[in-house]
């Protein structure tokens, strides 16, 4: 079965318990309501299982590597066993390395720093800035936004065929768009890259929380993702894959842990022998709690069963798309078409509404948290909205007063912890705001659309 396809006969499961599901927030119209977290694409709530595992470990917290004490040895074992858990979660090959970083952005910047000399990088303009921008020191070819998966493969094939035949090359591609949620043809793009002697890195920040990711099956060279998208707390990420470029590169950070030996020279300098393992790029005291939280989330998702999680999420995706389709003023954004497979990430605009105004009303009047703006994917959103991809903009900042058209969109995103009620409330709120308008006045403050607390109810 494809890793991008849920089994049709799998029964739907209950949402996985997450932190914050009992949080109540005030409404500008009075009273309070349970918070509906529908901004998973930015940061998913932590699983209770993850939090409980971290709390159980916390009393045993100690330094990692080389410590003689019991807690240090326990923490070191936990750190390295977490590496093995992540490798298993990703289907790593025996020779692959798992390097712990701070985030997807950090992972891709690490890989960018490890590129061989004269490496050429190919990246679609549709990427998140985390995978669009780190390649500044390489020769970069930016590829135009494709309108079908087949066109994406053909565009890459053509660009690779036209490159200089010698020298290293790297393709960077997302697994699932952080704007549209659409799934990209990763296997086919990997095959195209390898047929032309290039390597490929998969930005799995939006894919890994929603679908199984298997490095060997997808035949990618590296995978990068973040813990805070994967139901773990902030501050940790992963770069996993081939070891050679990482082993041959200068350490990402110079310092303790990355060095095997350091000795003074007679001329006053120092000689350093760097590690050739993942430790080469993990200088400093590692974030053992962040690493353990990622491993805990990997175990929780695996034990819950991805087939069941995918089936339930696809049910919610269908509910949201059907509900939005019933509101003529709403336009859902898509590169590959309305029927393209996607994860629980959906962006849209509403006719007659500034997207920031609409998002502010969802929050203030319904207790629903979504995202508005350009989602750190400016060229893609501008392409989808029919604007010049080079036009400047600031992430999340409204570009017009409430009620006026601005070049930004609204994104609703959900996942394994989302209850049905949150989706139902969101769709009801969209219908009411479009038909009846906001019940409160709003104003722009510090670049955000916010309720005017001094105003009366509309």
**Contact assessment for residue 74 and residue 61, using Cβ atoms and an 8 Å cutoff:** no
Burial of 359 (0-12, 13-18, 19+ CB in 10 A): buried
**Contact assessment for residue 173 and residue 220, using Cβ atoms and an 8 Å cutoff:** no
Torsion angle of the four alpha carbons 32, 34, 35, 38, in this order, in degrees rounded to the nearest 10: -130
60/14 Cα distance (integer angstroms) = 33
**Which contacts qualify for 23-29: CB closer than 8 Å, 24 or more apart?**
24/367, 25/367, 27/364, 27/365, 27/366, 27/367, 28/364, 28/365, 28/440, 28/451, 28/453, 29/364, 29/365, 29/439, 29/440, 29/457
24/266 Cα distance (integer angstroms) = 66
**Contact assessment for residue 242 and residue 312, using Cβ atoms and an 8 Å cutoff:** no
Distant-in-sequence, close-in-space partners of 80: CB < 8 Å, separation ≥ 6: none
* The pairing of beta strand 345-350 with beta strand 409-413: antiparallel
Catalytic: 119? no
Burial of 261 (0-12, 13-18, 19+ CB in 10 A): exposed
* The pairing of beta strand 409-413 with beta strand 371-373: antiparallel
For residue 15, the 8-state DSSP code is P
Residue 211: which of 426, 6, 450, 1 has the closest Cα? 6
205/227 Cα distance (integer angstroms) = 9
**Strand partners for 172:** 123, 201
**Strand partners for 445:** 448
> 298, 376, 395, 449: which is the annotated catalytic residue?
376
Distant-in-sequence, close-in-space partners of 436: CB < 8 Å, separation ≥ 6: none
DSSP H or E stretch at residue 24: strand 24-26
DSSP H or E stretch at residue 46: none
DSSP H or E stretch at residue 432: helix 420-436
Active site residues: 376
């Amino acid at each position: 079965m494809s890793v991008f396809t849920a089994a049709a006969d799998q029964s739907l499961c209950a949402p996985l318990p997450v932190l914050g599901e009992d949080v109540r927030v005030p409404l500008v119209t009075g009273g309070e309501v349970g918070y509906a977290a529908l901004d998973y694409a930015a940061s998913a709530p932590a699983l209770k299982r993850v939090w409980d595992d971290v709390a159980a470990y916390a009393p045993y917290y100690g330094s990692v590597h080389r410590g003689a004490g019991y807690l240090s040895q326990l923490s070191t074992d936990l750190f390295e066993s977490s590496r093995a858990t992540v490798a298993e979660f990703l289907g790593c090959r025996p020779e692959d390395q798992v390097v712990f970083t701070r985030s997807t952005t950090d992972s891709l910047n690490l890989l960018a720093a490890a590129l061989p000399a004269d490496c050429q990088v190919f990246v679609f303009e549709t990427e998140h800035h985390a995978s669009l921008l780190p390649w500044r020191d390489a020769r970069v070819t930016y590829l135009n936004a494709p309108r079908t998966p087949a066109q994406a493969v053909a565009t890459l094939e053509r660009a690779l065929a036209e490159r200089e035949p010698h020298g290293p090359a790297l393709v960077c591609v997302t697994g699932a768009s952080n704007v549209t949620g659409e799934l990209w043809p990763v296997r086919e793009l990997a095959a195209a890259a390898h047929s032309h002697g290039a390597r490929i890195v998969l930005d799995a920040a939006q894919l890994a929380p929603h679908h199984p990711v298997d490095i060997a099956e997808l035949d990618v060279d590296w995978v990068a993702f973040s813990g805070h998208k994967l139901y773990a707390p902030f501050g940790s990420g992963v770069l996993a894959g081939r070891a050679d470029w990482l082993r041959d590169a200068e350490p990402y950070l110079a310092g303790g842990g990355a060095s095997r030996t350091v000795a003074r020279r007679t001329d006053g300098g120092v000689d350093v022998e760097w590690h050739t393992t993942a430790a080469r790029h993990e200088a400093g005291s590692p974030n053992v709690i962040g690493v353990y939280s990622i491993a805990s989330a990997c175990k929780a998702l695996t034990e819950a069963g991805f087939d069941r999680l995918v089936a339930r999420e696809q049910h919610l995706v269908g509910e949201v798309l059907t509900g939005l389709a019933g509101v003529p003023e709403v336009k859902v954004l898509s590169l590959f078409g309305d029927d393209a497979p996607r994860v629980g990430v959906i962006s849209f605009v509403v006719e007659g509404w500034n997207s920031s105004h609409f998002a502010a009303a969802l929050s203030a009047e319904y207790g629903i948290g979504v995202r508005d703006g350009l989602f750190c994917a400016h060229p893609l959103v501008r392409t989808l909205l029919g604007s010049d991809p080079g036009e400047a903009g600031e992430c999340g900042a409204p570009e017009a007063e409430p009620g006026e058209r601005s070049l930004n969109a609204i994104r609703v995103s959900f996942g394994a912890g989302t209850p049905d009620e949150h989706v139902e409330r969101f769709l009801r709120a969209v219908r009411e705001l479009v038909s009846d308008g906001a019940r409160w006045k709003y104003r722009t403050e510090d670049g955000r659309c916010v309720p005017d607390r001094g105003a009366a109810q509309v």
